[in-house]
Amino acid sequence: METTTEGDNLRYTKMPLNNGSGAIPALGFGTLIPDPIDTINATKAALEAGFRQLDSAERYRNEKQVGEAMQEVFKEGKIKREDVFIATKLWNSNHRPERVKTAFDASLNRLQLDYLDLYLIHTPFAFRPGEEQDPRDENGKVIYDDGITLLDTWRALETLVDEGRCKAIGLSDVNVEKTKEIFESARIKPAVVHVESHPYLPEWELLEFCHQNGIVLQAFAALGHSSEPRLLDDPVITSIAKRVNKTPAQVALAWAIQRGTALLTTSKTPSRIKENFDISALPEDAVQEISKGITTRLRFNAVVETGVPGFIPRGK
Ligand SMILES: NC(=O)c1ccc[n+]([C@@H]2O[C@H](COP(=O)([O-])OP(=O)(O)OC[C@H]3O[C@@H](n4cnc5c(N)ncnc54)[C@H](OP(=O)(O)O)[C@@H]3O)[C@@H](O)[C@H]2O)c1
C-alpha cells in the first residue's frame, strides 16, 4: 500500500482509503476514557498536540464530551473540522438495518458533526435490538439477535455512504474469516479493519489480507493498554528505545506505522499525549527486531470472542 510520509515525519503519515474516500492519518487518538472531564481535556490536548485522527463510539457513552472538546478547538480557529479525520462506531444493539440510521444520526448529533470520515460496526455480534446496550437474560447471559447477519448491517452502512453521510465504512473486532466474508459480498468494500494489535498480537495474517485488498488495518491498544505483562517494559522495546533515544511508547507507535498499520493510542495525561505524537521513524533493523524478536503472544481484550467489551483483568 502506498503511504504518504514526508521525510522523517512519520507522525504525519497518511494511508489512502479505498472507495476514493480520502486518506486516514495513521497516528490516531482513541477516546475510550471513562471520566467525562478527562475525555474533554484529553481530546483537546490530543488535537492541540497534533493528532488529526479521533476514534469514538456510541458504546463509550462520551461522544457528547468528544463533540464539545472538538467544537471548542474548532472555534479557536487554528484547526478546522475538515483537518480532522473523525470516526465513531455502531453498537451491537443497533445492528438491525432500521436502527442503523437512527443510531448514526444520534452519534453525529452528540459529536456535533454533519458528516463522519469513518463509521465502523463496533463488533460482529448483534445483541437484542433496543436501547439497552448490554441486554442480559435472568442468568446474566448476553441476549444475542439471531435474526440478522453482519452482511445485513453492512448493507445499511453502504447506504450511509451512498447518501454522503459518511465517507468510509469499516469493521471492528473481526477475525480474518469474517473480514473475507464481508469483503467478498460487499458492494462498498471495508476501508478500515479496526482490531487489537501490538507487538504481542501482531495479526500478520489479517494485515497481509488487508494489504492485498487495499484495506487499512487500524491497530487499537497499540501500547498494550498498560496491561500486564507490560509491553512497554519488554526488553526488546526498552533496549531499542535507549538506542534510538526515544521512549518505549514512541518505539511501539513507530513500529506500528512502519509495518503498515494505522493505530490508536489513548492517554489522559497531557505529557504522554505530546510524547505519543512526537514519534520518529526507527531504523529498519529495529523494526525487524520487534517483528521477529518478540515472540510473546497475548490478547488483552476479549471483545472479539463475545462482543462484550472489556480488557481482561490480569494479576499484577
Ligand atoms: N473496537 C474496540 O473494541 C476497541 C477496544 C479497545 C480500545 N479501542 C480504541 O482504541 C483506543 C486505544 O486503546 P487503548 O486505550 O488500549 O490504548 P493504549 O495506548 O494501548 O493504552 C492506553 C494506556 O496506556 C497508557 N499510556 C499512554 N501513553 C503512554 C506513554 N507514553 N507511556 C506510558 N503509558 C502510556 C495510558 O495511561 P494514561 O491514560 O494514564 O496516561 C493508558 O493506561 C481506545 O481509546 C479506543 O478508541 C477499541
pTM of the model: 0.97
- Residue ranges in the chain assigned as alpha helix (H): 36-49, 63-76, 97-111, 150-162, 176-185, 204-212, 235-244, 248-258, 270-277, 284-293, 303-306
pLDDT for 7 equals: 54
Average pLDDT of the segment spanning 223-230: 96
pLDDT for 2 equals: 53
Atom of ligand 1 nearest to the CA of 32: 45
pLDDT at 120 over 70: yes
CA distance 51 to 211: 24
Atom of ligand 1 nearest to the CA of 309: 3
Atom of ligand 1 nearest to the CA of 276: 31
CA distance 156 to 154: 5
- Residue 236 Cα distances to 138, 179, 245, 250, angstroms: 47, 31, 14, 13
pLDDT tens-digit readout, 290-300: 999 999 999 99
Average pLDDT of the segment spanning 209-238: 97
pLDDT for 154 equals: 98
DSSP, res 199: T
Residue identified by cell 462484550 is 308
Pairing of strands 27-30, 166-172: unpaired
- Residue 33 Cα distances to 60, 62, 178, 227, 309, angstroms: 8, 8, 28, 15, 14
Q: Where does the pLDDT of residue 272 fall: very low under 50, low under 70, confident under 90, or very high at 90 and above? A: very high
Using the mean position of ligand 1's atoms as its centre, give its distance from the Cα of residue 279 in Å. Answer: 16
Q: Which residues line ligand 1 (CB under 6 A)?
A: 30-32, 55, 122, 172-173, 194, 220-226, 232, 249, 264-269, 272, 275-276, 301, 303, 309
pLDDT tens-digit readout, 17-58: 998 779 999 999 999 999 999 999 999 999 999 999 999 999
Q: Where does the pLDDT of residue 316 fall: very low under 50, low under 70, confident under 90, or very high at 90 and above? A: very low
> Which residues are catalytically annotated?
60
pLDDT at 132 over 70: yes
